[in-house]
Structure 1
Amino acid sequence: MRIADIDLGPRPLLLAPMEDVSDPPFRLLCKRMGADVVYTEFISAGGLSYGAKGSVQKLEFYEEERPVGIQIFGGEIDQVREAARIADAQNPTLIDINFGCPVKKVVCKDGGAGILRNLPKMEAITRAVIEEATRPVTVKTRLGWNDDSIQIEEVARMLEQAGVAALAVHARTRAQMYRGEARWQWFAKIREALQDIPLLGNGDATTPEKVKAMFDETPVDAVMIGRGAIGNPWIFRDAKALLETGEVPDPPSWEERISVVAEHLTGKCAWLGERKGVLEMRRMYGGYFKGHRGASGLRMALMEHKERDSVLEVLLNWRENEPEVQVPVGPLAPEAGTPAPLAVKPARLPKKATLPPALRERIAQRAA
């Protein structure tokens, strides 16, 4: 499968853009586990055009993530156009437009899925981004605003004619949010509406078996994995193995799981700074340890600490299936006969992409 001139091979798997999840440290993990394309968190066009620190930081990525897409959203054409210029200057592999986010504060201003109520404006925003971009532009959207206004076939034809290089569709309406089952039957109708560009399927691809089912039961060219990857970057490895061999590998050992969590934490601290990295990592533990005996106790113990090394000390000394382990305040000392704690390598992250100085100055002037 190809997006423009980017060859992704047969049945590629993509990491969906997810707010507060798909940051550079997590994208690196998913890339190593087999993700063929990764996307940034969605970035506010208004935030970029006014130089908001958080929005600008989300533009950063590591070269090792490629192919990588920067996703932008917004309902004001001039702001989206400016955001496209800024994103394009970062030299990503792709620029993606978010026409699918269902969150109220986004859709109320025609951002995300809100634009599905105004298709002419959707086309105008798409064409504006394509005019500014020097690389392929893709779109992620939903079936429609609600069941009474599904026009996804018309939308697909419109976006392809406007010049998008690929279309990702979450097979739910905005009204559904994330409830109910994704309606994969729509993928066949969307595929018929498209002529040449790839269709990327999204929605309920939460296990390797469901990823394979989406490929087997629908005409999608690629599968985009979102919630199924949260706390489980191994889904890319496992889904690829299932597609290639018909078998799912054994789940990661406790040691491997702990090692990856420690790597994720270390990466977050290197990217965000220690304090913020430790705090933001707290929302990840539930996914990583879901289903393990004693998981709630481990999560509580990890959240007691605010320094990376203290968190790592708890994490690396915790034994699987030991719900009654009490974590002391001071240094941990394994009991006699227990395995030595895992070691964690210091963060040796690749070089980030940074904004060109002239563009960074322009953003600063706009924000002043």
Structure 2
Amino acid sequence: MVKIGNIELGEFPLLLAPMEDVSDPPFRAVCKEGGADLMYTEFVSSEGLIRDAAKSVQKLDIFEYERPIGIQLFGSDIETMGECARIATKVNPDLIDINYGCPVKQVACRGAGAALLQDIPKMVKMTEAVVKATHLPVTVKTRLGWDESTKNIQEVAERLQDIGIKALTVHGRTRVQMYKGDADWTLIGRIKENSRINIPIFGNGDIDSPEKALDYRNRFGVDGIMIGRASIGYPWIFNEIKHFMRTSEHLAPPTTAERVRACRKHLDFSIRWKGDRTGVVEMRRHYASYFKGLDNFKPFRMRLVETMSYQEINDILEEVTETYVAELA
């Protein structure tokens, strides 16, 4: 049984990665239904939360059915991160996660996210401040290092465990790599081989099929896997991986009707949570992913992204179901 503090996650948990502009409550709802064992919010800016910025505060919204759920924080100031952890704790998540992995310039060039991989002593002090600011388990998500010459994740794992984190997720790339090239899980496996490490270690990067999930579990010995981009528009990946690990057989892929049903659930929640206009507009980024692989879907997608009418979107989705079910019959 894998545990983060007192949170029981099963024998081999599958985690939904925190993804900016993706991992909001509507997206998390379909991923929970799809089998995600632990989910995280989009990352929350400590500076924004201290200033009570509306966007940052809204990201603290969590719902009972999502549990266990973690709030992920990022920032560059130690004292502010501690205060931010206290604020986040008040909304009663199951854990607090710290982002030391985001590679984008707007974050890293301001001394937050993956930038802390260039200053391990500061990373340790910041983590300690967050641990002391909350009674909740604190976890960390980070990368192998800043670049090829500074892959210091093994040292980071020991030092962060020593000051109290309860789990570590490692993305198998450096900051310089961004999301390019293949993720290298070799060092993640070495962390697991370290007899000093007794917290759960989760691997992240490039898991996009049940076969790869099983292979990486067996090769690198991780306690669980975090899935990000492969879940966008395909929340079924969690249950597909679980089924394959249990049986060595594949679940049938989702039917067009099931894709439409998940897309519609996502849309409905998006509108309830964000309002009519924003809910419709922000849903547009997901249509291509939900219906990826369907022949000649582009005309439907163009119509879906051009309309502001909820009723028209539902009519188009119904048309999608009828069209592709008829073609398969």
TM-score, length basis structure 1? 0.86
Does 2:116 match 1:115?
A: yes
Distance in 2 between residues matched to 1:20 and 1:310, nearest whole Å? 24
1:1-368 pair list within 5 angstroms = 1-193=2-194, 194-319=196-321
Structure 1 stretches of 4+ with a deviation exceeding 6 A read none
Report the Cα offset of residue 259 of structure 1: 1.0
1:316-335: per-residue Cα shift (whole Å, max 9, x none)?
2224667xxxxxxxxxxxxx
Letter in 2 for 1:142: R
Letter in 1 for 2:121: P
Secondary structure of residue in 2 paired with 1:291: coil
Does the C-alpha gap of structure 1 residues 131 and 224 become closer, same or farther in structure 2, counting only changes over 3 Å?
A: same
1:16-69: per-residue Cα shift (whole Å, max 9, x none)?
000111111111111111111010001100000000000000000110000000
More deviation, 20-29/162-171: 20-29
Aligned to 1:356: none
Distance in 2 between residues matched to 1:189 and 1:113, nearest whole Å? 21
Secondary structure of residue in 2 paired with 1:87: helix
Distance in 1 between residues matched to 2:170 and 2:320, nearest whole Å? 41
Distance in 2 between residues matched to 1:128 and 1:223, nearest whole Å? 27
1:183-227: per-residue Cα shift (whole Å, max 9, x none)?
011122111345210001101111222111111111100000011
Secondary structure of residue in 1 paired with 2:96: strand
Letter in 2 for 1:70: I
1:337-361: per-residue Cα shift (whole Å, max 9, x none)?
x79xxxxxxxxxxxxxxxxxxxxxx
Question: What stretches of structure 2 of length at least 5 have no aligned partner?
Answer: none
Aligned to 1:335: none
Distance in 2 between residues matched to 1:209 and 1:231, nearest whole Å? 19
Letter in 1 for 2:54: K
Size of the aligned set, in residue pairs, is 324
Letter in 2 for 1:94: L
TM-score, length basis structure 2? 0.96
Distance in 1 between residues matched to 2:12 and 2:205, nearest whole Å? 16
Is this contact kept in 2: 1:201–1:223, CA < 8 A? yes
Distance in 2 between residues matched to 1:31 and 1:287, nearest whole Å? 18
Distance in 1 between residues matched to 2:175 and 2:147, nearest whole Å? 6
Distance in 2 between residues matched to 1:236 and 1:12, nearest whole Å? 10
Secondary structure of residue in 1 paired with 2:221: coil
Distance in 1 between residues matched to 2:71 and 2:266, nearest whole Å? 21
Is this contact kept in 1: 2:191–2:197, CA < 8 A? no
Secondary structure of residue in 1 paired with 2:180: coil
Distance in 1 between residues matched to 2:29 and 2:145, nearest whole Å? 32
Provide the aligned C-alpha RMSD in A: 1.3
Distance in 2 between residues matched to 1:199 and 1:103, nearest whole Å? 24
Is this contact kept in 2: 1:254–1:320, CA < 8 A? no
Secondary structure of residue in 1 paired with 2:99: strand
Distance in 2 between residues matched to 1:210 and 1:20, nearest whole Å? 26
